[in-house]
Structure 1
């Protein structure tokens, strides 16, 4: 991560917001969603988008799956993503197979790259946070903001193949 006190920018290229850099927003979202089951529905999208916007903080071997999960979410919606997640969790609990089942993600483009495409047109430091937290204007509005971040993330990664 770059030193935002010197540059005012996160390593993804975003300008720091009132809470600080993207990591500060990311951890605040994670903490808030623990107490809010409706907000938690977007957890996978939040994690995938954050790690794809900050690949230096991610495990490289998982970035391809995270990129494909965001594409699935953008293509088929949150409920479809939640079904794929539930399938993976059930599969892991039963120990039937090792590794990630890529079949539900086979139709989606692999992660372009190497590298990082930032800056992104939407990121975590742009998430509004009023006195009521990240969902002070409602869960659907929060979901739309997270959707915009997911779109910006996928769009930017796709520029690496253009």
Structure 2
């Protein structure tokens, strides 16, 4: 398979292209459709955990824990957590982030990333008229949750004892 047909997460390109093409299309659609925005943080975490070379290594552990928080507590809890973080990081508050709610969750395994994920952005259905939400926002939210579950499962399957490559 040619390199342009396979994503660095192991996914085969879909009709829109590689995962980055899907990710950017979702970000554009979020700007046009406010009802997609609640899943923004989940979309970003999933994308960066499936494509860690596109993010910052120092943030991956927090993104992995935030993804677990979302899977454990749901979207509403994640949105409250994010709003609390934004309020704490306000220049007037000067109190900084409060990451204590993420402490109970597993840290990012040190020997990743996984080679493949059960599902990826390239698996998301998209049509020209309705984009990612042609069958409704609830269905879109469930697909994003499925992506989050697949991402967490793959990272957790590595475990802390997998030998480092090389």
TM-score range, shorter chain: over 0.9
Structure 1 stretches of at least 4 aligned residues deviating more than 4 Å after TM superposition: none
Q: How many residues align?
A: 157
Counterpart of 1:57 (choices 54, 77, 86) is 54
What TM-score do you get using the length of structure 2 for normalisation?
0.91
Provide the C-alpha distance between the structure 2 equivalents of 1:149 and 1:28, rounded to a whole number of angstroms: 16
2:163 corresponds to which residue?
none
Structural mapping, 1:37-56, within 5 Å: 37-56=34-53
Provide the C-alpha distance between the structure 2 equivalents of 1:118 and 1:19, rounded to a whole number of angstroms: 22
2:148 corresponds to which residue?
150
Structure 2 unaligned spans of 5+? 161-166
Provide the C-alpha distance between the structure 2 equivalents of 1:117 and 1:58, rounded to a whole number of angstroms: 15
Structural mapping, 1:9-158, within 5 Å: 9-93=6-90, 94-98=92-96, 100-130=97-127, 131-158=129-156
Provide the C-alpha distance between the structure 1 equivalents of 2:142 and 2:26, rounded to a whole number of angstroms: 15
CA contact (8 A) 1:112 1:157 kept: yes
Provide the C-alpha distance between the structure 2 equivalents of 1:157 and 1:95, rounded to a whole number of angstroms: 35
- Superposed CA RMSD in Å reads 1.2
Q: Describe the SS at the equivalent of 1:34.
A: helix
Q: CA deviation at 1:95?
A: 3.8
Provide the C-alpha distance between the structure 2 equivalents of 1:79 and 1:88, rounded to a whole number of angstroms: 14
Q: 1:13-70: per-residue Cα shift (whole Å, max 9, x none)?
A: 0000011000000000000011111101000000000000000111000001100110
Q: CA deviation at 1:148?
A: 0.4
